[in-house]
Amino acid sequence: MFTYQTRIKLHETDAAGLLFFANQFKLIHDAYELWLEQMGFGFAELLNSKPYFLPIVHAESDYKRPLFVGDVIEIQVRVVKVGDTSFTFAYTLLNARQEVVGTARTVHVTMDKATQSKISLPKDMRERIQALYDEDN
């Protein structure tokens, strides 16, 4: 599991100071990007040096409790499925009291940049993601 901490910023909220629903996806994507970078697959390298990319083909999100501007949150990221061409991450958002305030899932497919066709996960990426697989989910 990977953990990312951030604070809800004013520009992420609506007129009532409440997290705007679409920004939960932004927050989990920030956690995803940092985790990939720490695994050695930063987006700059993926976009500039690799023959594949990792589009999200499915995303879902549930909102359990409100988040307001200034709230500190923790986002826990887990690998919950690894297939031949895809992987699924699950996200749990917790407030400062460690209460679940949201959950989300994203499914990513490995796609060849030249052909725009699905391809098998590259061996090095598969090994690093598989090592983090959470069999309890």
**Residue spans of alpha helices (H) in 21-137:** 23-38, 43-49, 123-130
Output the pLDDT for position 133. 75
pTM over 0.85: yes
Single out the catalytic residue among 14, 62, 112, 124. 14
Output the pLDDT for position 137. 56
Please, are residues 105 and 90 in contact by the beta-carbon 8 Å criterion?
A: yes
Residue 14 among the catalytic residues = yes
Structure tokens at 65: 């409790």
Q: What is the mean pLDDT of each run of 10 residues along the chain (137 residues)?
A: 95 94 96 90 82 94 96 96 95 97 97 95 89 68
Output the pLDDT for position 39. 85
Rounded CA-CA distance 48/107 in Å is: 22
Q: Classify domain 2-130 by CATH architecture.
A: Roll (3.10)
Output the pLDDT for position 92. 98
CA atoms within 13 A on the CB side of 121: 19
Q: Is the C-alpha dihedral spanning 130, 86, 95, 72 positive or negative?
A: positive
> What are the domain boundaries of the chain?
2-130
Rounded CA-CA distance 1/15 in Å is: 34
Please, are residues 25 and 75 in contact by the beta-carbon 8 Å criterion?
A: no
Output the pLDDT for position 134. 64
Output the pLDDT for position 45. 81
